[in-house]
Structure 1
């Protein structure tokens, strides 16, 4: 597949022109304040998993609206003192899966929390968290659920769940609450970027080929789902573009990046038509933290760096999570 987006020198300079809504910070402050009116009620139930190297906990905590959200917590076997934690968010359509599917970070010596994504969990990996909130007309998928009002939008609930996931893992006595990182691939990377802008004291973030960035460009450039869901919605709902883009502006990774402070390791793939590289660079180039870096995979599509990127993360992240 050929490169289809801006040349790399232009990507390295690219900044989107769309500003955040004036009440962006107030919107998220009110959203998280409302969520915290519900007791977090983080419960960690031991699981008898056939795994010798980790202890597994089935986690339930209160997310948006007090709704129960599931997750896994994996601790290196024999952990007796608080250890740093990695919170992972899942790609589009997937759920938390089964504990044995995600052993990388516990094998590296960290507590590993995997958040289930509400309403998803039937695409690639299984999930256990319903989304009890209804919405108006939507195109198939999740991108347009409640898209004409930011208060109703699907990702308002998901991003709130994600912030509460950090609070839940910090509540465990064997997690060092001062050393928590957030990461994910694609949708998970976009969620990690949002959490980086909403939780001011994370130790690090690592968004890999992040989704949910630079919406005005992404929905007119990407020929694939999930961004294509928005374009197809607007094809049917003529005249809704202004309302839709206003809603999306409250969830744009570019605006969260401008509020992020933790050290950040990004990655982009220059043949990625799902999350076009310019949208990833838009977030990276807007990132406010003093330490940011970008891994570029010139000949890869949405798989990005894959295991090669994980190797970089395994070498980079300990420097920010170890004492």
Structure 2
């Protein structure tokens, strides 16, 4: 696919006029206060895996509404003292998968906490184990419009709350240094990472690769690829609901969370990415309020972005903050 979005020099200055709800901060403060009324109750059950270099734990903790959320914790084998941690959020439709899929950060010497995404995980290679017990009104297939009639009912209110609680669960483990925790994610995981970066003020760094869930109005109208297209499918059937729908989505836009982020941040985008168009990524990057931020641009890639090359960039960039 050739370049289809704005030229790179325009992307670097792209700042959409996105209305922000007046009660955005109040909404999220109340949401997290309600979630914290439930004991985090994090449980870490050792898992016997035929891997010599790591110790693996099956994790369960209380997320939104006290609902049980699953995850993995992977530690370098034989860890006896608290070490820095990377908390990871995963891509759209995927679940936590299997432990041997998550070895990179433990082999680099860090604790690796992987959060399962509620209700997702039907992918054959990355199954999920976390239910979403909350229903919703009419929606298009997928997750983008579940509960979109009201921000209190919207699906990603639950997911973003789970994600903040995942940081809290990770910090509760005795072998994790609670003062040296970073958040990381790709695509949907990158969007969740931006939300966590805006809601958790003391992360040491965030890494958001080809992030989804940013600049919803542009994503819903620029690309015909899923998942943004789910919004268009919903509005095709729900004529006249545009204003209410985009008002709900404004409470969950990565651009608004980026404006509240303070930790050093590494972003990446790809100029042929039709799933998460580069302008939506730059909208968040250009809004990011942290003083230290960097963007990796892959000119001839699609939604795969930098792939394993970007992992190499992360391995060089993130330790300067985790090891500080």
TM-score w.r.t. length of structure 2: 0.99
Shift of 1:39: 0.5
Alignment gaps of 5+ in structure 2: none
Which digits, 9 at most, give the CA deviation of each residue in 1:266-312, with x for residues without a partner? 00000000000000000000000000000000000000000110000
| Structure 2 residue aligned with 1:316 | 317
Equivalence map 1:125-140=2 (5 Å): 125-140=126-141
Alignment gaps of 5+ in structure 1: none
| Structure 2 residue aligned with 1:48 | 48
Return the alpha-carbon distance in structure 1 between the equivalents of residues 230 and 76 of structure 2. Answer: 40
Query: Bigger shift: 121-130 or 285-294?
Result: 121-130
Shift of 1:20: 1.1
Return the alpha-carbon distance in structure 2 between the equivalents of residues 264 and 122 of structure 1. Answer: 30
Which digits, 9 at most, give the CA deviation of each residue in 1:122-162, with x for residues without a partner? 12411100000000111110001001100000000000000
Q: Tell me, what secondary structure is at the counterpart of 2:218?
A: helix
Q: Tell me, what secondary structure is at the counterpart of 2:302?
A: coil
Query: Bigger shift: 120-129 or 69-78?
Result: 120-129
Shift of 1:19: 2.6
Return the alpha-carbon distance in structure 1 between the equivalents of residues 15 and 294 of structure 2. Answer: 16
| Structure 1 residue aligned with 2:217 | 216
Equivalence map 1:133-152=2 (5 Å): 133-152=134-153
| Structure 1 residue aligned with 2:272 | 271
| Structure 2 residue aligned with 1:34 | 34
Residue correspondences, number: 323
Return the alpha-carbon distance in structure 1 between the equivalents of residues 122 and 107 of structure 2. Answer: 27
| Structure 1 residue aligned with 2:207 | 206
Q: Tell me, what secondary structure is at the counterpart of 1:229?
A: helix
Query: Bigger shift: 119-128 or 95-104?
Result: 119-128
Equivalence map 1:234-249=2 (5 Å): 234-249=235-250
Return the alpha-carbon distance in structure 2 between the equivalents of residues 318 and 2 of structure 1. Answer: 35
Q: Does 1:13 align with 2:9?
A: no
| Structure 1 residue aligned with 2:109 | 109
Q: Tell me, what secondary structure is at the counterpart of 2:315?
A: helix
Q: Tell me, what secondary structure is at the counterpart of 2:294?
A: strand
| Structure 2 residue aligned with 1:196 | 197
Q: Tell me, what secondary structure is at the counterpart of 2:100?
A: helix
Question: C-alpha root-mean-square deviation of aligned residues, in Å?
Answer: 0.5
Q: Tell me, what secondary structure is at the counterpart of 2:148?
A: coil
Shift of 1:170: 0.2
Return the alpha-carbon distance in structure 2 between the equivalents of residues 260 and 130 of structure 1. Answer: 29
| Structure 1 residue aligned with 2:283 | 282
| Structure 2 residue aligned with 1:306 | 307
Shift of 1:117: 0.1
Equivalence map 1:251-266=2 (5 Å): 251-266=252-267
Q: Could you list the runs of 4 or more consecutive aligned residues of structure 1 that deviate by over 3 angstroms after TM superposition?
A: none
Return the alpha-carbon distance in structure 2 between the equivalents of residues 226 and 19 of structure 1. Answer: 22
Return the alpha-carbon distance in structure 2 between the equivalents of residues 14 and 240 of structure 1. Answer: 27
TM-score w.r.t. length of structure 1: 0.99
